[in-house]
Amino acid sequence: MSMSFPAQTRLVFDQRVPMRDGVTLSADVMFPAGAPENGKRYPAIVLRTPYIKANPVTYANARYFAERGYVYVMMDVRGRGDSDGVWKPYVHDGRDGYDAIEWVAAQDWSNGKVGTLGGSYLGRIQWLAALEQPPHLGAMVVLVTPSDPFVETPTGLPSPMHLCWEHFVSGRVLQPMEAVQWSEVYEHLPLLTMDERAGRVMANWREQIAHAQMDEYWDRICYQNRFEQVNVPVLHISGWYDDEQIGSPMNYIGMTTRGAVEARDKQRLLMGPWGHALNTTQNLGEVDFGPLSLIDLKGEQARWFDRWLKDDEDAGGAAAVTIFVMGENAWRDEAEWPLARTQFTPFYLHSAGRANSRFGDGSLATGAPTEDEPHDGYRYDPARPVPFVTEPTSSQIGGPDDYAAIERRDDVLVYMTEPLREDVEVTGPVRVELYAASSARDTDFMAKLVDVHPDGFVQRLCDGMVRARFRAGMERPELIEPGQVYKYGIDCWNTAQVFKAGHRIGLEIASCAFPKYDRNLNTGAELGVTSEMVVAEQRILHDAAHPSAVVLPIIPR
């Protein structure tokens, strides 16, 4: 069965693609004008998706590339849509990706050069396929790509909001996320049976909770520890407010430093002021990033494929790194990431012992504490969690939201600089070095970098967290001793923000960001399977012996 589109492209439905174990997957194939009857051979682009290939957006993208001389192959992954087999996220996608790429390369209409394209789930499975080293894989465009397990949620458990995604892809077709009252579901304990509260038992959800640390179960879907096995030019694309943002800069660094030697100089990073839905609006929440924030993103992808699948050297002139610098709302080309000229600068926490809320006495300064400043303390009650501002579904977790109201709480410590006398650019990875003690055997510490505007708007930039039992790594859980001081490292991901003169650089410290992360119940019990809670008394130290600080990537201007 075929169907005609403008510009004489041709769509052929439901081509059965055999996998090595006999399962067949379904592919819809868009051909350039005159193909395949004209006998010409073309480069091909493969997109493999769990989100059902048969939709107008996917077909429109296919037509775009077919009009530029590519055969575009859209495939439902195993167990989804029209494909056979059993759906199990990620587990089969490495080998299935290899088999799909090599099937495409063997077709009469293929010239043997195959690229892959896609974002989020579709990005991660490109990496899993690349690890299998298909001989005809010539280029990848990976967007908003998830990291290895526990990089984004270093809690040992899936985010409560991940259950929304598990529901969305349950069965063979897409499920309506709006059919469930997610804000009520997220409150349910224990985490293990949250799926029942959402209306269905989800085996994958329960398997993840049963493996609440890095172990062999997770090895099969890890790729970020194996870049040396990837010898492919890759265009990495994400946004500063993508809720999986950390993966793209990490992957770019991994491929340029640890990838196969021949591929290290064939990497490009593109970061915009976008959320998980890239390049769709210049406004996120209350922040307008201006008309320059929207670009010809398809054109960037097409030029990448032209360079590596058509050997068009004229298409390869873009900078290695292109970033949108928020605050001044402008694009800038760079030679590397992080930027070589970065001055990593500690901004130390200070107070007279009362940094609680935005009305407290917390401050940030580049001068280290020189005397024994009193610590700051707060009570973390899991029954009254500090909110993370977000939509209820997992389609976008957080943005440049206003945290002024959240900072009114006494269980949120707030540290701010004085109003800046001149613009300060912070571009790169942000980390927090925190000295803290707790009355609990296990607890969490959250850190959030914010831009405090003169009008009181408190703009979230980036954030991160640490679960105390995983302070030494996700494969080595160890409870803490109540009252003992520990040094915690918190990865707050990346940003690119010019703090304008008159603004303040702000840092929030709390012990919850719900429902982005599950609530630590503070008992030290097995994760995800209990409901008992206790209140934790937290102490944050910032004295000469315990110089807690946020380390900012300052770019000289």
Show which residues are catalytic: 120, 242, 276
- Using the structure block, give the residue that is written with the tokens 């051979």: 41
Cα separation, 248 vs 250, whole angstroms: 5
Residues in the chain: 557
Which helix H or strand E contains 298, and what residues bound it?
A: helix 297-309
Cα separation, 101 vs 104, whole angstroms: 5
Could you tell me the CA-to-CA distances from 131 to 206, 220, 223, 225, 526 in Å, in that order?
A: 27, 11, 7, 11, 34
Cα separation, 329 vs 411, whole angstroms: 34
Burial 130-156, CB ≥16 within 10 A → b, else e: bbbebebbbbbbbbbbbbbbbbbbbbb
Bridge pairing between strands 536-541 and 424-438: antiparallel
- Using the structure block, give the residue that is written with the tokens 């081509």: 15
* Dihedral class, residue 7 (left if φ above 0, else alpha if ψ from -120 to 50, else beta): left
* Interaxial angle between packed helices 297-309 and 56-66, expressed in degrees from 0 to 180 and rounded to the nearest 10: 50
Looking at residue 423, the DSSP 8-state letter turns out to be: -
Cα separation, 479 vs 443, whole angstroms: 9
Query: Helix (H, G, I), strand (E, B), or coil: what is residue 268?
Result: strand
Cα separation, 446 vs 465, whole angstroms: 4
| DSSP labels, 369-381 | P-S-PPPEEEEE-
Among 212, 284, 287, 194, smallest CA distance to 245 is for 284
Question: What angle is formed at CA 151 by the lines to CA 146 and CA 156, rounded to 5 degrees?
Answer: 115
Which helix H or strand E contains 255, and what residues bound it?
A: helix 247-258
Among 218, 151, 203, 212, smallest CA distance to 525 is for 212
Residue 111 · residue 87 · CB < 8 Å: no
Cα separation, 551 vs 548, whole angstroms: 10
Could you tell me the CA-to-CA distances from 179 to 52, 160, 389, 393 in Å, in that order?
A: 19, 17, 21, 11
Among 389, 87, 89, 386, smallest CA distance to 243 is for 389
Structure tokens at 296: 């010809």
* Dihedral class, residue 135 (left if φ above 0, else alpha if ψ from -120 to 50, else beta): alpha
Task: Give CA 368 to chain center in angstroms.
Answer: 33
Cβ count within 10 A of residue 173: 10
